[in-house]
Amino acid sequence: MPTLLKQGSRREVLAAGGLAALAALLAPRMAFADEKAVEAELKKLYGDKKFETGRIKLDVPQIAENGLVVPINVEIESPMTADDYVKAVHVFADGNPQPGVVSYRFTPECGKAAAATRMRLAQTQNIVCVAEMSNGKLYSTKSEVKVTIGGCGG
Amino acid sequence: MISRRQFLQATAAASMLASASGLGPLGRAAAQQRLSQADITRFDALGRLTILHVTDVHAQLMPLYFREPSVNLGVGDANGKPPHLTDKEFRAHFNIAAGSADAYALTSDDFVALARNYGRMGGMDRIATLIRSVRAERGDDNVLLLDGGDTWQGSWTSLKTNGQDMVDIQTALRIDAMTSHWEFTLGHERVKEIAEKAPFAFLAQNVRSLEWQEPVFEPRKIYERGGARVSVIGQALPRTAVANPRWMFPDWEFGIREDDIQKQVDESRAAGADVVVLLSHNGFDVDRKLASRVKGLDVILTAHTHDAMPGVLKVGDTILIASGSHGKFLSRLDLDIRDRKVSGYRYKLMPVFSDAIAPDPDMKALVEKIRAPFAADLSRELGRTESLLYRRGNFNGTFDDLICDAMLTERDAEISLSPGFRWGGTLVPGDAITFEAVANATAMTYPNCYRTEMTGEQLHAVLEDVADNIFHPDPYFQGGGDMVRVGGVGYTIDVSKPVNQRISGLTELKSGKPLDASRKYVVAGWASVNQNTEGPPIWDVVEKYLGRVKTVRLEPNTSVSVKGA
């Protein structure tokens, strides 16, 4: 992974002449998703069902250190027994070209409903995480991640 | 028998008294221009444990002038609160007399006249004298000496020796531990090399390997001092990978990692710590918020934002100390430990007046030895200034105006950008501008002065992005530093607005016309965080410009108009 990272940032620099991060922030602005796109995805999955708060521990940085690989950790509070478990977790980003980031499906045998990955974020935006329980209950939470040009430290 | 509550009140009253005349008897002595070392070291000792804190030295071996900011705005909860006070408000809050030594050390107005009266501040040989004096008074075993970081960067000698000059100084001072920020810009291999070999601890609980999330450095260390067990937890700048070139430490991640600090505190207590100290490079506002959320921290030694406060700030039971920068101050905090708890404290921000403090001979010799190989470069006179040249302040400083002018001229640009660093010394009118003075404002490992094209819209986006880094109402979203300095362009900023709504009225200064969002402008800048940035080092650009103009005369910069403060 580190090698890939290095090459990624280098390619950007060569392409944008030293203002890579800026270009990344500005270039695709017209093609971004928005809150409505995320809502539409949720409607496709769950219709008009209501979401509750709680249960989801969504761990994303406040400020992305590298917008190309932003770490995300999710964990859903659940006994994970045959009659009470987490069926699915979906993650959306409302400022990327496509809102879908990742979907996980769980079974009671998983023992724990937790997952971690990295995602690319094109700009400052909200990460929306929803969890579907075996009894049909839905939970959601959201967290903003700032993607910045960087530079200029004290 | 005095109750703990009464004791705390008495201590608070004592510190009120101490700040009533500024830095105690110093103000009066100063008025008579008879500053003495004894005035600076005088301290009514408390308990057995003394913590000394120095931070953000930025590799300044020699005494220098450093003008504190005239604009230092706080947003959100920090609005109008210390340390976001300047000049008259600062003096009123801390009961400092105008024109006194403390006014000179801590505020900016009347700087030139006061600088002539009170002289330069700092110098590692003077710091060494103060440390030696406290150790002699308290006993070596009762003193803990902590360095908040930003020590290995900021001078020509530190750049040329890869920070070795400062490591030698820290070793000679016998510091116990440090944490870090600009140190990382020496590159991961060099930082690891020093951290592994140094006789002091390099503590940073919040640095992890990217792939495995394993700790890269020792998170904390417990010291037996003053009959107590003191746990020191290190916290590097959480925004290092955003504020500085990530490619210099590509395998490391940072972040505030609040939960992990709590874990460190709890583990410290479980390991028998009587006192838990966060040696932090978070920046003051971040630490103020953190103190309200992490339980069990007795002391936070703040850094990064270069604030200096002649009194502590308490958040709950946590004491916050702000020790300034550039070697201008050394903080002394005495703690009274009873029943394995902090039951009282006494604090003094010791100002390092170089004319009043006798240099420590050993340290003086070490500093001379370090500087000798670079003497010709350091003393080379590039020009003279008729104006006060300073950097610190939220929006502009004359030293950056000089750098911006140099870039416009030497790189034939329409617009220039200079980062809002908070390090770099001050020159008073009549001073020679030596290469050393330029290096003090520019010495770093990614100095290339690029020349590129940007549209008006892109420049606007850059200013908005940087402004949000400083004026986001939640300090956890701030990165420290001041606003990027702009040459050739003026603008209005409303600091109370949210991101992308703060900057308006971008105007090309030469033509007086609004900046065209779609037109491309030639832009020069330096300190890009991107790898393989091309261009001459910024100090060469400034040297060439000074060779052309010889004498610098700068009018006050009125190109940035500030609202919502």
Mean pLDDT throughout A63-90? 95
Q: Do B482 and A154 touch (CB under 8 A)?
A: yes
Q: Do A9 and B246 touch (CB under 8 A)?
A: yes
Chain B residues in contact with A148 by the CB 8 A cut-off are 242, 465, 468-469, 479
Domain with CATH 3.90.780.10 in chain B: 380-563
The answer to whether residues B268 and B233 touch, using CB atoms and an 8 Å cutoff, is yes
Residue B491 has which token pair?
């603008």
pLDDT of amino acid A150: 67
pLDDT of amino acid A90: 97
Rounded distance between C-alpha atoms, residue B226 and residue B88, angstroms: 39
Q: Do A2 and B210 touch (CB under 8 A)?
A: yes
Q: What is the pLDDT of residues B458-501, one digit of tens each?
A: 999 999 999 999 999 999 998 878 999 999 999 999 999 999 99
Mean pLDDT of chain B: 93
Q: Which percentage of chain B shows pLDDT scores above 70? A: 94
Q: What is the pLDDT of residues B489-508, one digit of tens each?
A: 999 999 999 999 999 999 99
pLDDT band, residue A148 (cuts 50/70/90):
confident
Q: Do B458 and A10 touch (CB under 8 A)?
A: no
Q: Do B529 and A151 touch (CB under 8 A)?
A: yes
Q: Hey, what CATH topology would domain B4-369 get? A: Purple Acid Phosphatase; chain A, domain 2 (3.60.21)
Q: What is the pLDDT of residues B4-29, one digit of tens each?
A: 333 333 344 344 434 433 344 444 44
Q: How far is A16 from chain B (nearest CA, A)?
A: 10
Q: Do A152 and B253 touch (CB under 8 A)?
A: no
* Position A2 pLDDT exceeds 80: no
* Position A26 pLDDT exceeds 60: no
DSSP 8-state class, residue B362: H
Mean pLDDT throughout B134-150? 98
Most confident option among A13-27, A29-43, B247-261: B247-261
Longest dimension (CA), chain A: 57
Task: Please count the other Cβ atoms lying within 10 Å of the Cβ belonging to residue B127.
Answer: 27
Chain A residues in contact with B482 by the CB 8 A cut-off are 152, 154
Chain B residues in contact with A14 by the CB 8 A cut-off are 532
* Position B121 pLDDT exceeds 50: yes
Q: How far is B481 from chain A (nearest CA, A)?
A: 4
The answer to whether residues B402 and B554 touch, using CB atoms and an 8 Å cutoff, is yes
pLDDT of amino acid B211: 87
pLDDT of amino acid B28: 43
Mean pLDDT throughout A95-105? 95
pLDDT of amino acid B99: 92
Q: What is the pLDDT of residues B306-341, one digit of tens each?
A: 999 999 999 999 999 999 999 999 999 999 999 999
pLDDT of amino acid B51: 98
Q: Do B419 and A66 touch (CB under 8 A)?
A: no
DSSP string, A11-43: HHHHHHTT-HHHHHHHTTGGG---HHHHHHHHH
pLDDT of amino acid B479: 83
Enumerate domains of chain A plus CATH numbers: 35-147 (2.60.40.2470)
pLDDT of amino acid B33: 56
* Position A153 pLDDT exceeds 60: no
Mean pLDDT throughout B104-114? 95
Q: What is the pLDDT of residues B199-230, one digit of tens each?
A: 999 999 999 999 899 999 999 999 999 999 99
Nearest to A152 among B241, B305, B420 (CB): B420
Chain B CA closest to residue A62: B477
Q: How far is B135 from chain A (nearest CA, A)?
A: 31
pLDDT of amino acid B283: 97
Q: Which helix (H) or strand (E) holds B384?
A: strand B381-385
Residue with tokens 């004026």: B471
Q: Hey, what CATH topology would domain B380-563 get? A: 5'-nucleotidase;  domain 2 (3.90.780)
- Best A10, A12, A58, A63 member to test B by mutation, with max B CBs in 10 Å, is A63
Mean pLDDT throughout A85-109? 96
Q: Residue-wise over B109-118: b if at least 16 C-beta within 10 A, else e?
A: bebeebbeeb
- Best B239, B242, B252, B446 member to test A by mutation, with max A CBs in 10 Å, is B242
pLDDT band, residue B65 (cuts 50/70/90):
very high
Mean pLDDT throughout A132-143? 96
Q: Do A2 and B479 touch (CB under 8 A)?
A: no
* Position A102 pLDDT exceeds 50: yes
Orientation of helix B164-173 relative to helix B124-138, angle to 10°: 20
pLDDT of amino acid B13: 38
- Best B244, B476, B529 member to test A by mutation, with max A CBs in 10 Å, is B529
Mean pLDDT throughout B69-83? 94
pLDDT of amino acid B565: 86
Mean pLDDT throughout B86-95? 96
Nearest to B250 among A6, A12, A152 (CB): A6
* Position B558 pLDDT exceeds 60: yes
Q: What is the pLDDT of residues B338-394, one digit of tens each?
A: 999 999 999 999 999 999 999 999 999 999 999 999 999 999 999 999 999 999 999
Q: Do B499 and A124 touch (CB under 8 A)?
A: yes
Rounded distance between C-alpha atoms, residue B247 and residue B251, angstroms: 9
Chain A residues in contact with B253 by the CB 8 A cut-off are 65, 71
Domain with CATH 3.60.21.10 in chain B: 4-369
Q: How far is B178 from chain A (nearest CA, A)?
A: 17
Nearest to A61 among B255, B527, B529 (CB): B255
Chain B CA closest to residue A150: B242
- Given strand B49-54, what is the order of strands in its sheet? B201-202, B177-178, B143-147, B49-54, B329-338, B341-351
Rounded distance between C-alpha atoms, residue B299 and residue B523, angstroms: 45
Mean pLDDT throughout A22-30? 46
Nearest to B488, CA basis, from B413, B430, B394:
B413
* Position B254 pLDDT exceeds 60: yes
- Best B246, B260, B465 member to test A by mutation, with max A CBs in 10 Å, is B465
Q: How far is CA B215 from the centre of its chain?
A: 26
